[in-house]
Structure 1
Amino acid sequence: MIGSPSTDLTSKFALDTKGLGDLKQSAKAGSPAALKEAATQFEAMFINMMMKSMRDATPQEGMMDNQQSKMFTGMLDQQMSQNLAKRGVGLADMLTRQLTSNQMGAQALAIGADGTSDTGAAGKAAAAATAVAPLQGMPPGKDAATIMKTGLSTPGAAPLPLTTATGRVQTPHVRAFQEKLHAHAAEAERATGVPAKFMLGQAALESGWGKRMIRNADGTNSNNLFGIKAGPGWKGKVATAVTTEYVNGRPQQKVEKFRAYDTPADSFKDYANMLAKNPRYEKVLASGGDASAFAHGLQRAGYATDPNYAAKLTRVIKNSLA
């Protein structure tokens, strides 16, 4: 007797379209095993979107960074996502329990063979989430589709999208960085007209998402989110650090003095004041809602010496922030 084909895709190549076809057929037949496997593949897809967001938030430059290496890196990420989903992070189990308890067939999570593109993956994730009733442990009135769009925002606060404009799901450290500083960025936006998202992107680039902050002599945080140096006219606190400056296109290590602040809010206020009052940044303020124009305006005004600064900043704003 010939048994039904195995739908366990976690032990197969991530791009095995035949395996996905078998899974679709099993899902149509209402197989409980197919329901579990479809939920696992949804989890793998979710993990893969997070890995893509992490890749996009990491500066990529060098001899080994090209279209071919990106293609193979993407394939590697897909396989790793599939292997991680086999262990499970809990999402597949929640989906399976919820679908089973509501007597919903595995067809709700059947995955098509074209789910490898960014837009397609995000669309399928949203569609699958819409098909699922509120997940166990989620706040009342918040179903999975709403969570995918807005995240778990604080009551009374304006919700931030959980996905970026390009459909990528934000990684936890990016999400935490944006939620922590969003109110300060919004205040700076009211003072300058520059979108809060643009300033958050620059703070992320300059501080490594808050993980490479300049330190004071006693080891405390300088709260200098924008890498603003302490010139002769600065009367506040000062922190000294080694920084990379580009001279004639070549990176050089230099010891520089930077401004230090008591709080992150003070950093945003000083940054907004600098943009508003320094004539060098007039065109930056006039860039409107164009992320690329904002980034290139900063570079032309001499904000940074890195020749790739504008490209890096544009990538962070567009691909990583909601």
Structure 2
Amino acid sequence: MESLSTKSQLDMARNVHDMGSINKMREAIASGDETVLQEAAQQFEAIFVQMMLKSMRKAQDALADEDSPFNSQQVKFYRDMHDQQLATDLTSGGGLGLADVIVKQLGQTENSYTPASVIRSDGDLSSLNRNREYKVAQAQDIALSSNSIKTQSAQKDAMFESPEQFVESLMPIAEKVAEKYGMDPKAIVSQAAVETGWGKFVIHKSDGSSSHNLFGIKANKGWQGEQAVVDTLEFNNGLPQKQKAAFRSYSSVEEAMEDYGRFITSQPRYSHAVENASDAARYTNALQEAGYATDPEYASKIMAVYNSERLSALMP
């Protein structure tokens, strides 16, 4: 008898214009009757169908004759009431199947459905994104820490006291490397200035010694030398993201410059840049197009330094 009473209450709830029936459904929920979940799911599906009908009616109204007696506000009022009840009746007989999916998902009665609490706890999708980013960062930390016994935590610190010292120290070495690999020494120094902020942000290892990495070259699988893991700013779809990455570590500036020249000329993807090495603008654009850096303004930043009065004044 109690089951029949509950069923009667839920049948009444399908009348959307009877506020008493809504209270009956609330009472069924309070009583702990699990069958009310099916009714709630059908009510949700009815709302969805009602929204579709409403959109269809709006499209019809746009083409309707304004002078027609069937286009009056009174007719529309009763038409909308009919659509609300129609949506409820349509979903009570199976409908679109959305109600069944909701019941299986929220009821957790089948192992083939993931509990809603696992998929989203509070309807906040941003929390899922943050959780995914945390998991990626956590996996990245584990991978980097186990990559090599030579890997060390690092930070960025100044290696040169001033831009004058930066250019004075690097230009003679850049000229030798440029002559060997057919590059523009001024473009090399300009790129190093962009990568390190004129030598103020050079990667230093945990013991305080400099990595001498002036060009942000990362330690790939083929790199057998020392590494330094540091936070870096990468761009994904034009948006900056903070990540951890392992970078190459050198014993001197000369070694870093030599490795840069060898790295650029030995990588097939930079072949177009090497072909245009004598033209700084084309060279830097080719580097960016080849994916040397994820910063969309990378080439323009290098050329801004290259053409700056500051660099020209510091040139010997």
TM-score using structure 2 length: 0.46
TM-score using structure 1 length: 0.46
Q: Larger % of helix: which?
A: 2
Over alpha carbons, which structure has the higher Rg? 2
